[in-house]
């Protein structure tokens, strides 16, 4: 765009000399300060992660003595890395404290999705490779429930606190929750058909990514 901003100087300001009220609104001191906000966030995230850990401890890991190093790195590591990337683009304050730019957040979301997609390609040779609708549906439901714990905690901790680009940042948060849920589910589920992993384990990423984007304006935005 070859547009010289200097040109705009010629447009006069129609409201420059309008006198304005200086009456401040009546405020209550019962709002949360930064310390409270940070404490609430830490508590919510810790509780959510503890619940997820309790679930995997109760349900147990899949018997996978045959797993190779590449599977451990890609199958488990990539979704976890994706969750980390999505969380970072959601939570980083950016240059002005309004969050990262749209491009970076979008890139973070895309990275998390690609990492998850790549992780689905890695399967141990002896794993159950047959795709079944019922097992995929069960896994999708479980993933959504696991993600819901994280997502609800996030909504509680960040509600009404996101000033800029709330929809995109909440989409990133939703993808982070879904990605972490996919990671946790993969620890448990031996079903390694690519389609099963993509649909069953990845359902939470889709659900909470969309939910975050759509609910952001009403619940999360300042």
Partner 1 sequence: MVLGRVYGHDGSCARTRLHAVVAVAQECVWVPWPSGSHAVGWSLLNAVSMNAKDLSSNPVAAPSASTAQSRAAEAVLNELMDRYARGDDSAFGELHEHLGPRVRRFLLRLTSNSAVAEELAQDAFLRMHRARGSFTPGGAALPWVYTVTRNVFLDHERKRKVQSAVVLNEALAQVHPDSVSRQPDNVLDSRRALEQVREALARMPVSQREAFVLLRFEGLSVADAAEVLGTTEASAKARAFRAYEAIRQATKTVENEGKE
List all residues 6 or more positions away from 209 whose beta carbon is below 8 Å from its beta carbon: 109, 171, 174, 175, 178
Indicate the residue among 28 and 134 with the shorter CB distance to partner 1: 28
> Judged by CB, which is closer to partner 1: 68, or 160?
160
Which tokens in the block code for residue 182? 């996919």
- Shortest Cβ 141–partner 1 spacing (Å): 33
**Smallest separation (angstroms) from partner 1 to the CB of 169:** 10
CB of 30 to partner 1, least distance (A): 10
Give the interface with partner 1 as residue ranges (CB under 8 A): 1, 3-9, 11-22, 24-25, 27-29, 31-38, 93-98, 101-103, 158, 160-165, 168, 221-222
Q: Please name the residues in contact with 142: beta carbons below 8 A apart, sequence gap of 6 or more.
A: 185
Nearest-approach distance from CB 184 to partner 1, in angstroms: 28
Angstrom distance (rounded) from CA 208 to CA 215: 10
Residue number, 98 or 133, with CB nearest to partner 1: 98
Which residue, 80 or 109, has its beta carbon nearer to partner 1?
A: 109
Question: By C-alpha distance, which of 28, 48, 27 is closest to 158?
Answer: 48
Non-local (6+) Cβ contacts of 140 within 8 A are 199, 200, 201, 203, 204
């Amino acid at each position: 765009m070859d547009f010289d901003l200097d040109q705009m100087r010629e447009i006069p300001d129609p409201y420059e000399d309008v006198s304005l009220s200086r009456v401040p609104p009546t405020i209550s001191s019962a709002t949360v300060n930064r310390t409270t906000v940070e404490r609430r966030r830490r508590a919510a995230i810790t509780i959510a992660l503890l619940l997820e850990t309790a679930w995997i401890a109760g349900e147990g890991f899949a018997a996978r003595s045959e797993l190779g190093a590449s599977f451990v790195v890609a199958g488990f590591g990539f979704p976890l890395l994706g969750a980390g990337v999505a969380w970072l683009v959601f939570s980083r304050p950016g240059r002005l404290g309004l969050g990262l730019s749209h491009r970076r957040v979008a890139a973070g979301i895309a990275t998390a999705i690609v990492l998850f997609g790549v992780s689905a390609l890695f399967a141990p040779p002896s794993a159950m490779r047959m795709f079944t609708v019922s097992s995929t549906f069960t896994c999708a439901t479980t993933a959504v429930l696991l993600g819901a714990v994280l997502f609800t905690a996030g909504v509680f901790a960040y509600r009404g606190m996101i000033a800029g680009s709330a929809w995109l940042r909440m989409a990133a948060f939703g993808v982070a929750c879904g990605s972490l849920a996919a990671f946790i589910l993969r620890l448990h589920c031996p079903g390694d058909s690519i389609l099963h992993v993509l649909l069953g384990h990845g359902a939470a990423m889709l659900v909470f990514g969309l939910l975050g984007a759509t609910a952001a304006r009403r619940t999360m935005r300042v």
